[in-house]
Amino acid sequence: AELRRDEQPSGSVETGDGAASRGCGAAPAPGSKDKPSKKTFSEVQEERREQAQRSVLIHCPNTVSEKKFLKYLSQHGPIHTHFFYESFGFYAVVEFCQKDSVDSLLNRTQTPATGTEAAIPFRSRFLYLKPKGPSSHAAKQSLARSSNHLPPSKRKLFELLCSAESVDDQLNTLLKEFQLTEENTRLRYLTCSLIEDIAAAYFPECTIRPFGSSVNTFGKLGCDLDMFLDLDETRRLSTQKSRGNFLMEFQVKNVPSERIATQKILSVLGEFLDHVGPGCVGVQKILNARCPLVRFSHQASGFQCDLTTNNRIALKSSELLYIYGTLDTRVRALVCSVRCWARALSLTSSIPGAWITNFSLTMMVIFFLQQRSPPILPTLDTLRASADEEDKCIIEGNNCTLVRDLNKIKPSENTETLGKCFSLFPFQFKQTFLLFSLFYFLAELLLKEFFEYFGNFAFNKNSINIRQGREQNKPDSSPLHIQNPFETSLNVSKNVNQSQLQRFVDLARESAWFLQQEDGDRPSPSSRQPWGLAALLLQTVAPSKRVQKKLPSERIKSLLESVKSNSTQSSTNTSGKQALS
Ligand code: CTP
Ligand code: MG
């Protein structure tokens, strides 16, 4: 009864890098005006992976005394950090200072004695703590407390949003409440590391790498955990030159195509996870998809996992999004609010279908920010132009080169056109100028203009292309065309049908109009009336303020015209685009 889900983590998280309780990776804290992280994406990946390898996941009784628990585990070496959480049971993540301590602990861990049920023996870093007697139970005050891994309830969110100072403040509140916490990020990497231990039974040199929103800085609490099996180490050609007249090769099984190889690998892994993997339930093999995958639920962490193989390009897209998300916190605030908006209005769904996906929405936000004048985000071509020899990366024939060092990202060319004297200033000044221009655009204004921009986008003829940061003619007839950043012949939103796109456009227009009306329209705190994002997102909590009710669709077109004329002074890029017919 003492354990509360909404408490801050009890165990202080000593990351040693000052990243405690922040969002995923090394992204800066929301609202902070600090400089972008200096860490490259691969540095963050390596650091997190190494942390995970020094960690264990322990199912414990929720009556465990934190002090006794830590004392017991410290027999194996000093503990760097730990936290408890509730999923289907009560769990602890314990990160030792040294990897040797994990080995020592595993050497003293037993395989459970079989009782009425038979155990399939498997040794992993997912353990069970069994109390030896009643003395192991803690007194109320020394009970271990649980850290939160759930998004806020609608009620709590409603209260938080209503008590915010401004719509801008509401946007930052959304980000703060939904972004992945430090603990949740650790748990994601640890889960991949545990799955790697299972997969290593088949492929000893494999690596399981997380990608997608768990690592790209745009993750929300509760989002799925995308991971892929990396067999590059097994595939790698030996660098040792063999002497003599012969060349020795491993005998392998050959199959007709790469796709069939992927399906076979995932098929055996799916079976193994299902039959032997501790904590892996509901395993589904979805091998006929364009990108074959095994979907399962990791019960102990509570994550819905999607396991693929050979997905290096998707990892590169995650790196690209990480760069965009790390350049400025408002990018994440805007993406987060657009994702929450789409979810609240049922534009996105956890079930696959013809709806728009979070990945597509993120690409749309990035594209929109590239359209600002001066641009808030650089194009992918600009990121490529800043790359050096070491950054060069070709994956499956696709040029995936990106500048990895965030400090090398130059201000976009458009800022140079502000005046000749600007080009005389040193590089550092230009960077400062760019940052300044980012702060100039409040997230509130950006959200409204995002809705307005896409409410009027010529989806019928144009494609969204973040590589060039320009609209392009659609290469095919899909209703929504967003070019995949690295596999340029692919459309990220191929699944979206015309009616889902039309819903997106209608709701974007209505929301633009709604936010325009909300300007300076905050009711007094005592009225407790839903306003701003609370009214826009939480319609089920406050049905009286439903967007649709307040905004009859037939009025939208004419009202939008007035929104547009009002905002031409603040926006420089709403150049009469064709509305979707
Ligand atoms: N991806 C892609 N093309 C698609 C869909 C997905 O390249 N059409 C890649 C992207 O790198 C994406 C990752 O696969 O980030 C994971 O896909 P998904 O889980 O759908 O998106 P996330 O970005 O992880 O967002 P969410 O929080 O909804 O899971
Ligand atoms: Mg995902």
Which residue out of 226, 227, 466 has the highest number of ligand 1 atoms within 8 Å of its CB and is therefore the one to mutate?
A: 226
> pLDDT digits over 501-534, tens only?
999 999 999 999 988 887 655 677 666 678 889 9
Q: Is 293 in the pocket of ligand 1 (CB under 6 A)?
A: no
Q: What percent of the chain has pLDDT over 70?
A: 77
The pLDDT value recorded for residue 138 is 62
Kindly state the tokens that stand for 287: 């091998």
524 CA distance to ligand 1 middle (Å) = 41
How far apart (Å, rounded) are the C-alpha atoms in residues 528 and 270?
51
Q: Is 314 in the pocket of ligand 1 (CB under 6 A)?
A: yes
Tokens 């000044």 belong to residue? 429
User: Is pTM beyond 0.90 here?
Assistant: no
DSSP string, 211-272: EGGGTSS--BTT--EEEEEE-HHHHPPP-SPPPSS----------S-HHHHHHHHHHHHHHH
Beta bridge partners of 462: 473
pLDDT band, very low/low/confident/very high, at 7 (cuts 50, 70, 90): very low
The pLDDT value recorded for residue 437 is 45
The pLDDT value recorded for residue 529 is 76
> pLDDT digits over 147-202, tens only?
889 999 989 999 999 888 888 889 999 999 999 999 999 999 999 999 999 999 99
Phi, psi of 101 (to 5 degrees): -65, -35
Cβ contact 30:333 at 8 Å: yes
DSSP state of 312: H
- Region 327-333 average pLDDT: 84
Which of 16-25, 126-135, 192-201, 213-222 has the least mean pLDDT?
16-25
Bond into 374 cis (ω within 30): yes
The pLDDT value recorded for residue 565 is 47
How far apart (Å, rounded) are the C-alpha atoms in residues 454 and 473?
16
Give the residue, by CA position, lying nearest to ligand 1 atom 28.
358
> pLDDT digits over 310-323, tens only?
889 999 999 999 99
pLDDT band, very low/low/confident/very high, at 367 (cuts 50, 70, 90): very high
- Region 560-578 average pLDDT: 42
Cα angle 238, 244, 246 (rounded to 5 degrees) comes to 65
Distance of CA 171 to the CA centre of its chain: 17
Cβ contact 285:268 at 8 Å: no
Which of 129-133, 331-335, 536-540 has the least mean pLDDT?
536-540
How far is the CA of 272 from the CAs of 25, 258, 285, 377, in angstroms?
30, 21, 11, 44
How far apart (Å, rounded) are the C-alpha atoms in residues 145 and 12?
11
Res. 237: pLDDT tops 90: no
The pLDDT value recorded for residue 141 is 67
Query: Which ligand is closest to the CA of 339, given by its number?
Result: 1
pLDDT band, very low/low/confident/very high, at 374 (cuts 50, 70, 90): confident
- Region 364-390 average pLDDT: 93
3-class DSSP assignment, residue 193: helix
